[in-house]
Structure 1
């Protein structure tokens, strides 16, 4: 199953989108709240049920002990988000100052999440927060760069507004280059459109020269519940956000499967002689009877 990292140029609903995808998944799912700026789900959606002594920060010390200790700590710090325990959360940092301690932990944590996806069949979603660049590359402290490098898909969340597209436009090429040089390939990058603005998917894709792999509707009632907690809105389980998140999850799985097939079976080398014949036929309008 795919490991999907979600990012944004600025606040574009990354956490809400990641939470919706994890809750709507048709398989067991994990949402890892890995935003170095700090997590918001424990104080919002979970309404303080999870204390500060639980979550991502404590994996750093475990990783220094060894891979087995990290795997055990990872399992111990997962929080169930549904009664059946099929939807799990790795709660994020409670203080952005903790981010520096995780710089060397990200690569090993990425491997743990890929094992969970590949061996246990989980859909894994990573809330990687806002992208920060340094000298044209992902900032080593303010972004969890190794998680993006190793992800099956990297989704940049954008809104269909001029402001959102302008902010994203400056990041697309550096991120694509980073994934080409240090990650799983430039084609890992795609867009997650948060609808509600004037621009549609094909316009957003054309403007950013990047495919829109999935879209989610602007659903303020459900978004507010995810952000602030409280009583679920009426009809929450059939809300537009969750219904479209199920479809989006299927689209992301299909996109990841296509990438894996293309990586396993690269394009056949071009036959230059045959290409020349076909070009000549095309130029003169095809064979004549």
Structure 2
């Protein structure tokens, strides 16, 4: 399916948006909370029911023993969001001081997420948190740059306000440069607009010189529930936020598929009469990573049933 990374210039609802997308996916989905500044799902949505013994940091420890150990540990540090096991979360760091330990682990994690998407059929949503810069480039420790480079799409989350746009504007060039130099190209970068403010999508696109690839409505009750600040609101299943998140995933999957086909069959060359889907052309998984799929599939219920 699609690997989508969400980032922001400042707190703009990245985690809430990522959780809404994961919960609303019609396919198996995984939310990886990879904000080097620390995760909030553990204390928020999960109401401190998950101990520090589960989560991202332990994968860095496992990776020291080799990629095979990392792959074996990955599934064991996921938390189910539903009884079926079709929606899962990798909880984030409990302490920002743990971030330097992940510097050498990000590339291996990016490979695991690629395999989950291409061969496992997962919607993978990465919460990469707030961007940090160093001399005009993405900070090597405080931003999980390898995860952004390995994603199909990278969405800069902004609110529809002048303040949010002003902060985000300084992040667009470093992101473009990162995706051009080490990713799949600058056209992987777009905007996820939170419709909390007066600015319209075309104004946001013009201000940031980026396409608005998806938009989510500002729905305080549902957002508060996802942040763990309130009880389950009435009519959650009919939530406009979750419905829009589901539609957004469909648009993003279509955009990622178009990009993949364009890269495989450049416009300068004629495309074959029948173009295979990108999902039909996966990159073979390394043996030590392929085992992740088997472990994740154990006990999972087919969502189509």
User: Is TM-score (shorter-chain normalized) higher than 0.5?
Assistant: yes
Partner of 2:289: none
How far is 1:49 from its partner?
Answer: 1.4
- Is the 1:47–1:230 Cα contact (8 Å) retained in structure 2? no
**Secondary structure class of the residue paired with 2:118:** helix
Measured in 2, the distance between the counterparts of 1:9 and 1:240 equals 25
* SS of match in other structure, 2:171: helix
Cα deviation 1:173-226 (Å, max 9, x = unaligned):
121112101211101100000002101111111111100000000010011111
Q: CA deviation at 1:240?
A: 1.1
Match of residue 86 from structure 1: 86
SS class of match (2:99): helix
2:24 aligned partner = 24
Q: Determine the structure 2 residue equivalent to 1:39.
A: 39
Measured in 1, the distance between the counterparts of 2:82 and 2:238 equals: 16
Report matched runs for 1:112-191 at 5 Å.
112-191=112-191
Corresponding residue number in structure 1 for 2:50: 50
CA distance in 2 between counterparts of 1:244 and 1:216 reads 6
Contact 2:160 / 2:199 at 8 angstroms: preserved in 1? yes
Indicate the residue corresponding to 1:219 in structure 2.
Answer: 219
Question: When the two structures are aligned, how many residues end up with a matched partner?
Answer: 269
Q: Distance in 2 between matches of 1:230 and 1:196?
A: 20
CA contact (8 A) 1:195 1:218 kept: yes
Instruction: Tell me the SS of whatever aligns to 1:65.
Output: coil
Query: Do residues 248 (structure 1) and 248 (structure 2) align?
Result: yes
Aligned counterparts of 2:60 and 2:8: Cα–Cα separation in 1: 25
- The residue that corresponds to 1:263 in the other structure is 263
Alpha-carbon distance between aligned partners in 2 of 1:232 and 1:219, rounded to the nearest angstrom: 13
Q: Is the 8 A contact 1:47 1:229 kept in 2?
A: no
Distance 1:37 1:67 in 2: 24
Please give the secondary structure, in 2, of the residue aligned with 1:101.
Answer: helix
2:303 maps to what in 1?
none
SS of 1:180's partner is helix
Bigger Rg, structure 1 or 2: 1
Aligned-pair Cα RMSD in Å:
0.9
> In the alignment, which residue of structure 1 is the partner of 2:5?
5
CA contact (8 A) 1:46 1:229 kept: no
Instruction: Provide the rounded CA distance (Å) in 2 between the counterparts of 1:101 and 1:4.
Output: 23
**SS of equivalent to 1:36:** coil
1:67 CA displacement: 1.4
Q: Secondary structure at the match of 1:121?
A: coil
For 1:155 and 1:75, locate their aligned partners in 2 and report how far apart those are by CA, in whole Å.
Answer: 26
- Please give the per-residue CA displacement for 1:123-150, whole angstroms capped at 9, x wherever unaligned: 0000000011111211011011100011
Instruction: Give how far 1:40 is off.
Output: 0.4
Do the aligned partners of 2:224 and 2:230 also contact (CA within 8 Å) in 1? no
2:74 maps to: 74
CA–CA distance in structure 1, aligned partners of residues 119 and 203 of structure 2? 38
Which residue matches 1:208? 208
- What is the distance in 2 between the residues matched to 1:81 and 1:195? 26
1:42-78 Cα shifts (integer Å, max 9, x gaps): 1111111110111000001111111111011111001
Gaps of 5+ in 2: 270-305
Q: Is the 8 A contact 1:194 1:218 kept in 2?
A: yes
**Distance across 2 between alignment mates of 1:230 and 1:74:** 30
TM-score normalised by L of structure 2:
0.87
